[in-house]
Amino acid sequence: METVENSLQADLLVVGFGKGGKITAGTMARLGKRVIVVEQSPEMYGGTCPNVGCVPTKALVHRSRNRRPSDPPQEWYERAVGEVHAITSLFRKGNFDGMDGLETASVLTGHAVFTGPDTVLVDTADGPVTVRAEHILINTGSTPVIPDLPGLRTSKYLVTSTDLIHRPELPKRLAIVGGGYLGIEFAAIYRQFGSEVTLFESTARILDHLDDDVQAVAEKILVDEGIEIVTGANVTGVEDGDGEAIVQYMHDGHECTLAVDAVLAAAGRKPATEGLGLAAAGVRVTARGAVEVDDHLRTSQPHIFALGDVNGGPQFTYVSLDDSRIVLDQLRGEGKRTTTDRVAVPRTLFMTPPLAMVGLTEREAREAGHRIKVSSQPVAEIIAMPRAYVVDETRGVMKFVIDLDTDEILGASLLSVDAQELINTVAQAMRHGITASQLGEAIYTHPSSAEAFNDVIATVVRSDEK
């Protein structure tokens, strides 16, 4: 049960209930250390992922795909949102009970502000509480970026991703400003639920970091599902009209407008450091507002660490988890583990089918001076992958970039059913020196998606060999 006192002393104070801080706090509490975790919102126990990030959005991906054409969009969506909220509530309670139930750990709910290098003032519902700690973890995550466009921030039709997944009303017409991971995932989700979706991207194409061949397949999948993608679009403002918002933008030198029911700002997320009083603690921040850390995740105050999105690193829950391993190694280990130890860190865009990547693209490998061969196949042509036909998802492509001289896997882009799982196998192979030939000649269960590697890696489409 939560206990509130005027002044508390702790071995470890964690500001923010995100993944990395949660794991570190729980581990230290089980070792008998006095631990206090501060979370400013009772809706965020456990951090972004189980509450407003990975869990609810991927649950909506699944439910959007289950809607039949005969299912009324609004009814189906409202039911899906209710089911997802039940899941997040369960996770939230589990996170709170799991932490606060530890013998030497307590959770304080309230906004925390540093008042010195080792003290934090927490504004709880029962009054202010001062917490002094030997070690402090800053684990406050990130917040959505709202572009500074005329009329956008004041528009009553503006929504963030958090706003959107908490609203039971399905927008009939949805504009998404930003064509990154967040924008594309939400475009795919809401199009499947029945919204008319227009995605605005300022660059010449979406997913510009991909090789042209993979990017083209991914974009075609999205367009074929009915998502209108406007690239090279410069959104200039938003004006509230009578029951709708008017999105104003420049495209191909023309002034254009679009009437919608909601405008999703999907311009990324920024480290949540405002209002923490970091200057009072002597903690430096970067020009982007992230907490400045070294390779051991120590801040400019050696007893204060920063984990997860707030330190400006990759904004992935699994990176925050690895941050906890680095910090725990500092607190109770040998202190050798660093962020530079990370290699072959995969990432996944949860469109349908998922797009997962690790390592170098073909373009990046060539720019780095590698002599390479490229193995690639459309999913529909992979004979060794009947699972794609079994689950009726044959869209996509698998591509491997392989060092011609060493047979080392330099990178992979997998746009296919189960890609979010397959990429972990590829990443593990890259970390442990398993060659492309060894991965391609391995024995996999049948029918499975992994056995596609047997065909794809053997199918060389380009080679630098003369």
Annotated ligand binding at 421? The verdict is no
Annotated ligand binding at 237? The verdict is no
Among residues 62, 209, 303, 446, which one is catalytic?
A: 446
Q: How far is CA 439 from CA 184, 389, 445, 446, in A?
A: 31, 23, 14, 16
Annotated ligand binding at 459? The verdict is no
DSSP 17: -
Q: How far is CA 208 from CA 147, 215, 349, 372, 447, in A?
A: 20, 7, 14, 21, 33
Secondary structure of residue 212 in the 3-state scheme? helix
Cβ neighbours, 10 Å, residue 225: 15
Q: Name 252's Cβ contacts closer than 8 Å, sequence gap at least 6.
A: 232
Annotated ligand binding at 179? The verdict is yes
Annotated ligand binding at 58? The verdict is yes
Annotated ligand binding at 220? The verdict is no
> Does residue 303 have an active-site annotation?
no
Annotated ligand binding at 416? The verdict is no
Name the pairing type of β-strands 7-15 and 35-39. parallel
- Exposed e or buried b for every residue in 312-322, given b needs 16+ CB within 10 A? bbebbbebbbb
Annotated ligand binding at 142? The verdict is yes
Q: Name 162's Cβ contacts closer than 8 Å, sequence gap at least 6.
A: 52, 144
The structure tokens listed for 131 are 């917490």
Annotated ligand binding at 268? The verdict is yes
Q: Is 41 exposed, middle or buried (0-12, 13-18, 19+ CB in 10 A)?
A: exposed
Annotated ligand binding at 228? The verdict is no
Annotated ligand binding at 45? The verdict is no
Annotated ligand binding at 444? The verdict is no
Annotated ligand binding at 219? The verdict is no
For the CA atoms of 334, 335, 341, 345, the dihedral, rounded to the nearest 10 degrees, stands at 100
Annotated ligand binding at 130? The verdict is no
326: left (phi over 0), alpha (psi -120 to 50) or beta: alpha
Annotated ligand binding at 201? The verdict is yes
The structure tokens listed for 140 are 């406050």
Q: Point out the annotated binding site.
A: 58, 140-142, 178-185, 201, 268, 309
Catalytic residues: 446
Q: Point out the annotated binding site for FAD.
A: 58, 140-142, 309
Q: Point out the annotated binding site for NAD(+).
A: 178-185, 201, 268
